[in-house]
Structure formats: C-alpha cells, structure tokens
Structure 1
Amino acid sequence: MPQRLRTTLYYAALWLVSLIFFAPVAWIILSSFKTRNDILATPPKLIFSPTFENYVDLFTRSTFMLQLINSVFLSLAAVILAVFVSFLAAFCFSRFKPKGTDFLMFLLLSIRMLPGPAVIMPVYLMYVAFGWKDNHIGLIFFYAMFSIPFSVWILKGFLDGVSTRFDETGRVNGGSWFHVIFKVVLPQVKPGLIAAFIFNLIFVWNEFLFNFIIGGVSTQNIPYALAVGAYADGGLNWTFIATLTSIYIVPPVLFIYFFQKYLLVGMTFGTVRGEV
C-alpha cells in the first residue's frame, strides 16, 4: 500500500473515531436550540427551525446565575489552593525525602481511592458540628482536601525530573529557599502545575454529591441544578437539560483545548522527563 494512501486512511480513521465520540455532544448542543416538540419528535429531526427561547428561559431563572457563579468560584478557589499546597508538599517530598516518604505518598493517594458515599456521613456530621454546612469556605477546603493527594503525585514526578543542582546553585549564590522554590524550580514544572490544575478543575466542576449533602441554597452549583431541575410537567425537561449542559461543558472544553499539550504530559506524572 502506498505511503500516501496509508496516511490518508489513518487520518480518515482518526476523524471517524473523533466524530463518533463527538456525536452525543453535538446532539445535545443541537437539542438546546429545539423546542420540546422537536426534541421528542419521532423520527428525530435533523432539520428544524432553531430557537433561542431555551437560553432566554435559562438565563431568566432566578437561581441560574448564582449556581453558575458558585461553580466557577468553588472550582477555581479550591483548585488554586490545592495546587499551591500540593506544590510545596511535593517539593518537600522530592528534595528533603522525609522518613517514610513512600508510605506517606501511598497514604495520600489512598484518600482518593475512597468512594464518596463511604465518607459522606462522617463528613456531613463534622460539617454540621462545625457550622460549615452551606458555607463556601467549608466547601472550598473540602474540595481542596480531595484535590491535594492527586496533585502531589503529579507534581512530585515533575520535581523529581528537575536536577537538585538548580537548588544548590541558588543557595550557593545567596538565594533564599523562597527564591529557589518560586523563582528557580517553579517555572520548570509549569506543565505539571497546569496539568494538576485542569485534572482537579474537572473533578470539582463535575462534583455533585458533596455539594448536595453538605452544601445548601447559597452554595448550589450547576450539577445540583441539573439534578433538581431535570423534571418538569410530569416528565424530563429535555430543553432545560440540553441548554444547561451546552453551557456547562464550555469552560472545561476551552481549558482542555488551550492546555491539551500539558494534559498529555501530566498523564505520565512527569516520569518521561529525564534530569535537566
């Protein structure tokens, strides 16, 4: 088979697979511009008169903007806090190697192995006792706690790939540890920071269970809105679901598109990097 034909078939197969995986997303976006009758039509309508009424109805809901702002605020605040703490912890594990580092790293990762429903009751009782229920700060700390273990694993892999000679050179030339950590080492692990940020952002952005249980009226996010607003008039409110979902997937899609090269590196936990 000629090389040119083989290359053409290869890219055609890639496009086919991509279109198959994108088809459900495209159908949801198209449905957001349909009326309820068009969505429920049999056979499904591919040609229809688009309407923006669904988006107008969504944005005029009294709770939608609060839920959207909560999703953005909780996600960004929790993940930024988690990545900052994780970077310092990973630097400690990578450079100072405290006794029992491997066991401590295992304990950190084991936190993420626990299923959410297994810990929801003690977390709920703790939040009620501390008065943190329906509290933005409480949810931010909780999401950060769940995001830190995975971030530490990613960032430690990247930091292990940065030579300690940079640290030694900085210290010999009179630099403080603050200067070495944030001015010398941090810029070299920027791909790891971005990868950890996006992975955890996706987790917090999609989290529903804990927001539903330990959150409240003032901390409702978009997954909460999808769960409680999915039914209307005795059935599924497909126009609401399609419209809200179309808006909901935009931020993570944009993040992944612009930083996709860092995600690929982050999936290897930095292990493919040699010492620099």
Structure 2
Amino acid sequence: MQQTRTRTAVYYLILWLVAILFFLPVFWILMASLKTPNDILAVPPKFIFQPTLDNMIDMLSRPNTVPYFINSLYLSITSVSLAIVVSFLAAYALSRYRFRATNFLMFLILSTRMVPAAAFVVPIFQMFNAFQWRNQFGVLMLYTMFSIPFSLWILKGFIDGVSTRYDETGFVNGASRLHVMFRVVLPQVRPGLIAAFIFNLIFVWNEFLLNFILGGPGTQMIPYALAVGLVSAGGNIDWAFVASLSTGYVLLPTILIFLFQKYLLVGMTFGTVRGEV
C-alpha cells in the first residue's frame, strides 16, 4: 500500500512539473501584458510591480487589431461550422452504407491532414491566383477543406457507436432518412460534434502559414498580426504589444477548453469513454 502511494505521488509530481514547464511561457506573457515596457525589460525580472492596462488599451487602439480579431472569429467559426455539416453527412453515409474499401477510404481522407501544409502551398497559391481567390471566400473554403478530415474521422466513430436499430425503428414508424439523421442520430452524437468543432476551431484559430501566404487584404488573422507586428518603428521588438495581443489571443481557446473539457476527452477517445457527457 505504501509503495502504491509513493508511486502515485511521484507520478503526480512529474505531471505537475511538466504542467509548470508548459505554463511558464503563458505566465510570462500574461505578466508582461500588465507591465510597463521598462518593467518588461528589467534585469533582474520584476515579479512585484504595479499592474497597468495601458498595453491592452494601446493594443486595441491600433488600427488593424480589431479587424484581425474579427477576421479570426469569422473565418474560424464559419469554416468549422461548414466543415461540421459536411462531415456529419459524410460520416453518416460511411457509417451506414459500408463497402469493402471503407476503412481504406477513411485512411486516405485522414492522411490529407498528415501532410505538412508547406508541401502543397505552392500549387494552392497558383490556383488561388488563377481563380482570384485570395480573399475571404478562398481562405474560408481552404480552412473548411482542412477541417473536414479530422471532423469526419471523429464523427464516424461516434455514429458507428449508435445502433442501427434506432434507424430501423424510425423507418418502421414512417420517418424519412433525413428525419432519422437529424432527429434520431444527431442528438446522440452531440459530444462528438462539440469535440470536432472545438478541435478544428483551435486549429484554424492558430493557423499562420496558409493565412500568411495565401490570404489577401482583409483576410489576415491574429497570428499574422503577431508575426508582422513584432517589430516597432525603431527596429526593436515591441514586447508590450506582443504580450497584450498574445494574452487576448489565447483567451478563446482557454475558455473553450475549460468549458468543454469533458467533450474533448470523449472526442479524443472517439466516443469510447463517455462518462457523464
């Protein structure tokens, strides 16, 4: 018994140390956003200081900051919502209408997310130029396309866990296929929908490379602002701006993960661990 308690204590100690290591950069950014520029660059670092919101006010008062936030929200929420709708329809079809190569097809679809974005950015760039898609529509479709494979993989796992008896009961009672899909199956895979939505929302929210290369005027998001806005007019890194923008940038993923962490657990296990969801 004592050995088991010691082993458990060691495991928790290691987990806490790893968590602290991951949280330290976030803690530094959060503290820097509340410091004056002189306090940020102070040596040794100041842990006791007078907090100020001047950095936040300055960050929000800059001309492009609010449009960057609006673009990030619009492109993330809209593209992922479209991807969830398409993925649910495809997942239902692949789950209920099985054929010999279903698993291989699912592997091919998911493998598109395994390829680094830099590997196909050149042909996509040429296509976007040819069709003049370097606008919100083009970027929206691009993020929708990238969000479909992972959403499809998660949702198919959930729909596979819903017995076909529910479908058969609905058909016997005169329900149409669409009625069964949206009124019978859809409510039972709600945790999967939420998990897929949050996972892909965080992916699009954090995406930089494609937005930087393929996006045109009016499509830039917060990662783009962080990349091109690091340097102030004097040629030095504007740490106050970077810290305040980064603090605002991490709020949405943090809130979503805190509110829906149980759904994320279910999503990562593809519905095999449901718990109290």
TM-score range for the pair, normalised by the shorter chain length:
over 0.9
Q: Distance in 1 between matches of 2:19 and 2:128?
A: 43
Question: What is aligned with 1:270?
Answer: 271
Q: Distance in 2 between matches of 1:106 and 1:7?
A: 38
Task: Assess, with a 3 A threshold, how the Cα gap between structure 1 residues 4 and 210 changes in structure 2: closer, same or farther.
Answer: closer
After superposition, where does 1:31-180 map in structure 2 within 5 Å? 31-133=32-134, 135-180=135-180
Q: Distance in 2 between matches of 1:167 and 1:125?
A: 45
Q: CA deviation at 1:271?
A: 4.1
**Percent of pairs with identical residues:** 60
Q: Distance in 1 between matches of 2:207 and 2:245?
A: 16
2:265/2:273 contact within 8 Å kept: no
Q: CA deviation at 1:15?
A: 4.9
After superposition, where does 1:245-260 map in structure 2 within 5 Å? 245-260=246-261
Q: Distance in 1 between matches of 2:68 and 2:15?
A: 37
Q: Distance in 1 between matches of 2:193 and 2:173?
A: 27
Question: Mind listing any 5+ residue stretches in structure 1 that lack a counterpart?
Answer: none
Q: CA deviation at 1:10?
A: 7.0
Q: Distance in 2 between matches of 1:199 and 1:79?
A: 9
Q: CA deviation at 1:167?
A: 0.3
| TM-score using structure 1 length | 0.92
| 3-state SS of 1:269 partner | coil
Q: Distance in 2 between matches of 1:80 and 1:260?
A: 19
Q: CA deviation at 1:99?
A: 4.5
Q: CA deviation at 1:9?
A: 7.8
With 68-77 and 98-107 compared, the bigger mean Cα shift is at 98-107
Question: What is aligned with 2:28?
Answer: 27
Aligned-partner residue type, residue 148 of structure 1: I
Q: Distance in 1 between matches of 2:143 and 2:8?
A: 45
2:223 is aligned with 1:223: yes
Question: Mind listing any 5+ residue stretches in structure 2 that lack a counterpart?
Answer: none
Q: Distance in 2 between matches of 1:271 and 1:153?
A: 14
Task: Assess, with a 3 A threshold, how the Cα gap between structure 1 residues 112 and 12 changes in structure 2: closer, same or farther.
Answer: closer
Aligned-partner residue type, residue 207 of structure 1: E
Q: CA deviation at 1:11?
A: 6.2
| TM-score using structure 2 length | 0.92
Q: Deviations over 1:21-53 (max 9, x none)?
A: 322212211100111111111111101122211
2:171 is aligned with 1:189: no
Q: Distance in 2 between matches of 1:264 and 1:168?
A: 30
Aligned-partner residue type, residue 217 of structure 2: V
Q: CA deviation at 1:140?
A: 1.1
Q: Distance in 2 between matches of 1:272 and 1:25?
A: 30
Displaced runs of 4+ in structure 1, greater than 4 A?
2-17
Q: Distance in 1 between matches of 2:45 and 2:208?
A: 31
With 90-99 and 174-183 compared, the bigger mean Cα shift is at 90-99
Aligned-partner residue type, residue 49 of structure 1: Q
Q: Distance in 1 between matches of 2:224 and 2:129?
A: 20
With 6-15 and 24-33 compared, the bigger mean Cα shift is at 6-15
Aligned-partner residue type, residue 101 of structure 1: T
